Every structure is written in structure tokens, then in C-alpha cells.
Amino acid sequence: MTANNNQSHNFPEEALKTPGDTGEAQDRNFAKRAIEAILFAAGAAVPLEKLAEAVGIDIKTTSALCDELALECESRGIQLLSLGDRRQFCTKEEYEPYIKAALGVRPPGGLSQAALEVLAIIAYNQPTTRVFVEQVRGTDSSHAITTLLERGLIECVGKLDVPGKPNLYATTPEFLRLFGLSSLDELPAIDALRLSDEPEEEGGL
């Protein structure tokens, strides 16, 4: 794709890796600012691949530049999130009350117990079907699935190749953002067995 993309700025790769020379450092800095601009304009999470393609550099360098941007955000009210292979700008959690006070942002609202259970089952077993979710919960879950789809926390990623072709659901980058995860590997470990042996669930965490 990079080859036919004549509009992109093509930076020499070596220059980006070793910012020794002033001109090369400028190129690198320019690429970083370009990424910053794209992420700001996008609002949503942008795949590293897209960023790399647009700026005309390789994915590894793009990822490194994003890490630098994230560091630069430490002293700011916004943060650069790493959501799987995507990057996204968003505000820092601690400033939520001030944002609400100034803009009267309607809170996204909590999630019902049913919605959280369905989300958990999908998150830990994705991609999976409604039937599987309902089997685990032992009860109808279509309403909760609709809610989660509307909130953009899960999405339909295809169909299972069995009779009836049921929809397969998986979590979205939006899910990672709102639950503070940078990838699905960070989902907390669940040890139901150990806890079930104890009369009370201690500690909570």
C-alpha cells in the first residue's frame, strides 16, 4: 500500500532510527507530530498500520513514536492509550469531574449485572455466540447483548459455520479503553475454584 501512496511523506528508515543528525531528528519529530495530529483528528482508536501507512514509516517505528508521545502526555490532561494494535487519545480518568462540571457531559451510565456478566463471558471466551453466553448464564441474554452492542463494547465479528449461522461476538477497542486495558491479555485472572472453597470471598480484589 505504501508504494502507491504518493501523498505520504517518505522518511528514510535509518534516519528515523538514529536521530543523531539534526535534519534526521527533525524528520523523526515531524513524523511524531503527524501521528499526533492524525490521532487527535480521529478521536477513535487508529490501527498502528494505518498510522504507519499514512506517515510512510514502518510499524515498529510508528509504535516507538507513539510510546514517546504517550510519555510526553504524562504532564498533560490527556493520555495516549495503547489498545491492542491501536492507539487513541483520551482524557485522563482523574479529570472526569472537571470535564463534567464544565461541559455537563452525560455520564455513560453504569452497566447492569446482566450486561456485566454477558460482557465478561464474551470477553473471556471471544469470539463466541449468544447461545454459549446463555448456556453459561442459564438464562436469556439477548437484551444484554443488544445493550452491549449499542454501547459499542462488543461487536459482531462474523458467523459461526454451523446450522443457523449464529453471530460471533467479540469485544471492541472501546471496551479496552473504558475498562483500562491495553490488550485482552490484561484481563484479570479468574480463580473460581479457590474462592469457592472459602466461605466468604475475601479481599474483593
Partner 1 sequence: MNAHNESAPNFKLEVFEGPLDLLLALIEKNKVDIFDIPIALILEQYMEYLERMRELDMEIAGEFIVCAAELMLIKSRMLLPRSPSGEEEDPRAALSAALLEYKRAKLAAEKLAELYEKHSGRYKREPEVPPAGELPEGLDVSLLSRAFRRILEKKRELPKLLLRSERTLERLLSGRTVPVGERILWLMRKLYGNAGTSFNDLLYECRTRSELVATFLALLELLRAQRVRLSDTDGGIMLSLDMAHRRGKTSPDELPSNLTSAEVLVPTESPSMPEP
Rounded to a whole number of angstroms, the minimum distance from the CB of residue 68 to partner 1 is: 21
Closer residue to partner 1 in complex, CB, 57/173: 173
Residue 154, classed as helix, strand or coil, is: strand
7-15, 21-29, 60-68, 152-160 -> range binding partner 1 (CB under 8 A): 152-160
Q: Do the beta carbons of residue 169 and residue 157 sit within 8 Å?
A: yes
Binding mask 5-24 for partner 1 (x = CB under 8 A): --------------------
Residues in 56-75 at the binding interface with partner 1, rule: CB under 8 A: none
Q: Do the beta carbons of residue 99 and residue 91 sit within 8 Å?
A: yes
Closer residue to partner 1 in complex, CB, 75/102: 102
Closer residue to partner 1 in complex, CB, 18/139: 139
Residues in 37-56 at the binding interface with partner 1, rule: CB under 8 A: 40-44
The C-alpha atoms of residue 50 and residue 62 are separated, in whole angstroms, by: 10
Inter-CA distances, 78 with 31, 40, 73, 119, Å:
20, 11, 6, 27
Q: Do the beta carbons of residue 190 and residue 124 sit within 8 Å?
A: yes
